[in-house]
Structure 1
Amino acid sequence: MTRRKKCLIMCRTGMGSSMMLKIKVEKLIDKKGYPMDVTHDAFSGFAGQQNVDLIITMEDLIDEFKNSPAYVIGVKDIMDTEYLQQELDKYFAQTE
């Protein structure tokens, strides 16, 4: 059985956009049956969240995670669920 992955969704403040992304990502992983637990936080909380497999953040924050061992997905438009699905599919194809 595949180990459950840990996904952290981050935005600058940890308020609206990361919560909206979290809801969208949870719907997508439920639809596909991906083994993943999703949390969200503000960028300032990243120091305590190093033990994650996947980070989803706004595209302008990607460089902040270049030293992280986690796979990083940068999002331009939080309403673009098709892009999110493609990126999640790509991530799970690489990790299986």
Structure 2
Amino acid sequence: MMNEVKLSLNKLGNGAFFIMDGAELLGEMVVNITGSDLTVYHTEVSAKAEGKGFAKKLLAAMVDHARNNNLKVIALCPYVYAQFIRHPDEYADIWKKVSSNQ
């Protein structure tokens, strides 16, 4: 399938969901998975791939992964946080809200 989202993690749980076009990185969502927490740090889509819905695809893949693995999402990424705020009911089951003064 073209532009499918893949997940790559190292043994410390650091890595990213990403979309490639051949050898070129089109988009990535940087994450860490530790225990039952999936922390999302950053989402980035390359300039040439903007407007193609890749950020949404990355978000959907991350959410599916969290649900399938009983993980709670800590949304430190502004994009993911904005989506969670905008659609709280859709993400309530996986959203781990942390106080902002940590």
* Rg larger for: 2
Question: Hey, which of these two has a bigger chunk of helix by percent?
Answer: 1
Q: Same fold (TM over 0.5)?
A: no
Higher strand fraction: Structure 1 or Structure 2?
2
